[in-house]
Amino acid sequence: MKISKDVYFKIFEKNFDYKIIETEMGEAIQMPPADAFIYSCVTGAGYLENPIYPFTPKGLLKLFYNAFDYKFVTGIFDNTTLKNTPLILSQAKEYLFTQTKYVVPVEFVYEGELTDYLRRQFSSITNPQDYIIQRIEMRKIGNGMEPFLEFLAAEYFKNRGYIVENQIPLAHSVGSPDFGAYSLDKVTKSLNSFGFLPGCGFHIIELAMIRLNRHLGNQGHNTGNHLVVGEAKTNSRTMTRQLEKYLDTGLFDIGFEIHPAKTKPATDYFGLITLGADFELKIIPPEKQYEPSHRLSKVDYVKWLTNYMKFYLLANLTNDELSEFYYELNNSRISSQADIVRFVAKMDVETLLNRIGVL
């Protein structure tokens, strides 16, 4: 199944509660601003603040390249300074978290064709920044819709109580998995004890959005530490080698192929996330457990993931608030990335949540 504009709407109609409405740009998916921000982060769909380069936060809210490592990449942090947090982005682009947003799928063959179309629309519609453009690149095999598949996988597991993420940091020698889902007891209990509204799971970036959104889902459906990894393809049906690399680390309990047209997994130790003939998301679990060729420490990985999530919580602060918070607990000023890493590693989740709660 190729994801065209028509199929895109049918997928939303079958799997989500978002309204499909008629807008100045034609049919669109109507989303609350916080949901739309996550959608843009995952898929790269851009806000029409500029017809040549629509803005997307995708890639801006990164922390680390590799698991088990605490070396910042330029993203949420730039050295010791908070840079691309949802709060800071919202101050520079006030439209991000105000007013309803409209996701418009646009089919095109060449970039010039898309740019011409967006220029015409930009000059004629009201509040163009409230429209988010989902690119459907017709000249590409699979229409360039792999990030949209990552979104579908994330929403499925999020609705089952997992903390989800796409393009997850792992290791240079292994690659970056397209999708991850984490059930972590320690993080869950802390978030629940803080009193977030009951619901489902959440995208990891939402941890940095508490100050703007004020609630998360309640991860109440899973117990223990259960970790899922996935690889998405639209232009190929072969994911075996890459997915086995991820599972060979011994860090994940289950691996999923994510493909819109496959009907069964490549092996009996893979699961499959696909679309049925009726456009409903279909999940086929693996029939047996994968046996890794070598194992990294899952205990250490869960510890790193917990710290990783604390950095996203820290991103609710302004730079002045971070400096003040650090000084209160250390009686000194931040002078290096290592200072921030030590600060976060020794702090429990509850301390961070309590700090965010009084902002």
Which of 104, 124, 143 is a domain's end point? 143
Q: Are residues 101 and 118 in the same domain?
A: yes
Residue 228 lies in a domain: yes
Residue 65 lies in a domain: no
CA separation for the pair 220, 199 (Å, rounded):
8
Residue 68 lies in a domain: no
Q: How many CB atoms lie within 10 A of CB 332?
A: 9
Q: Are residues 50 and 181 in the same domain?
A: no
Among 175, 140, 198, smallest CA distance to 66 is for 175
Q: Are residues 159 and 230 in the same domain?
A: yes
Q: Are residues 329 and 295 in the same domain?
A: yes
Task: State whether residue 230 is helix, strand or coil.
Answer: strand
Q: Are residues 183 and 330 in the same domain?
A: yes
pLDDT score recorded for residue 213:
78
pLDDT score recorded for residue 275:
97
| 257-315 pLDDT tens trace | 999 999 999 999 999 999 999 999 999 999 999 999 888 999 999 999 999 999 999 99
- This prediction's pTM: 0.95
Q: Are residues 100 and 198 in the same domain?
A: no
Q: Can you name the residues that pair with 98 across neighbouring β-strands? A: none
pLDDT score recorded for residue 198:
44
Q: How many CB atoms lie within 10 A of CB 172?
A: 10
Measured between alpha carbons, how far is residue 233 from residues 176, 261, 266, 271 in Å? 14, 10, 13, 14
| 176-225 pLDDT tens trace | 999 999 998 878 777 776 655 445 789 999 999 998 876 655 544 455 78
Q: Are residues 32 and 136 in the same domain?
A: yes
Q: Are residues 139 and 232 in the same domain?
A: no
Query: Domain range holding 41?
Result: 5-55+93-143
CA separation for the pair 160, 183 (Å, rounded):
10
Residue 61 lies in a domain: no
CA separation for the pair 238, 236 (Å, rounded):
6
Residue 31 lies in a domain: yes
Provide the pLDDT confidence category of residue 342 given band limits of 50, 70 and 90: very high
Q: Are residues 114 and 152 in the same domain?
A: no
Residue 336 lies in a domain: yes
Q: Are residues 208 and 330 in the same domain?
A: yes
Structure tokens at 228: 């899922």
Task: State whether residue 110 is helix, strand or coil.
Answer: coil
CA separation for the pair 91, 283 (Å, rounded):
40
Domain count, the chain: 2
Residue 351 lies in a domain: yes
CA separation for the pair 129, 175 (Å, rounded):
34
pLDDT score recorded for residue 191:
76
> How many degrees, rounded to 5, is the angle at CA 306 between CA 284 and CA 84?
95
| 36-74 pLDDT tens trace | 999 999 999 999 999 999 999 999 999 999 999 999 999
- DSSP 8-state code for residue 36: H
pLDDT score recorded for residue 170:
94
| 116-158 pLDDT tens trace | 999 999 999 999 999 999 999 999 999 999 999 999 999 999 9
Q: How many CB atoms lie within 10 A of CB 113?
A: 13
Structure tokens at 300: 């250490």
Whether 318 contacts 82, CB under 8 Å: yes
Q: Are residues 260 and 134 in the same domain?
A: no
Average pLDDT over residues 21-46: 98
Residue 63 lies in a domain: no
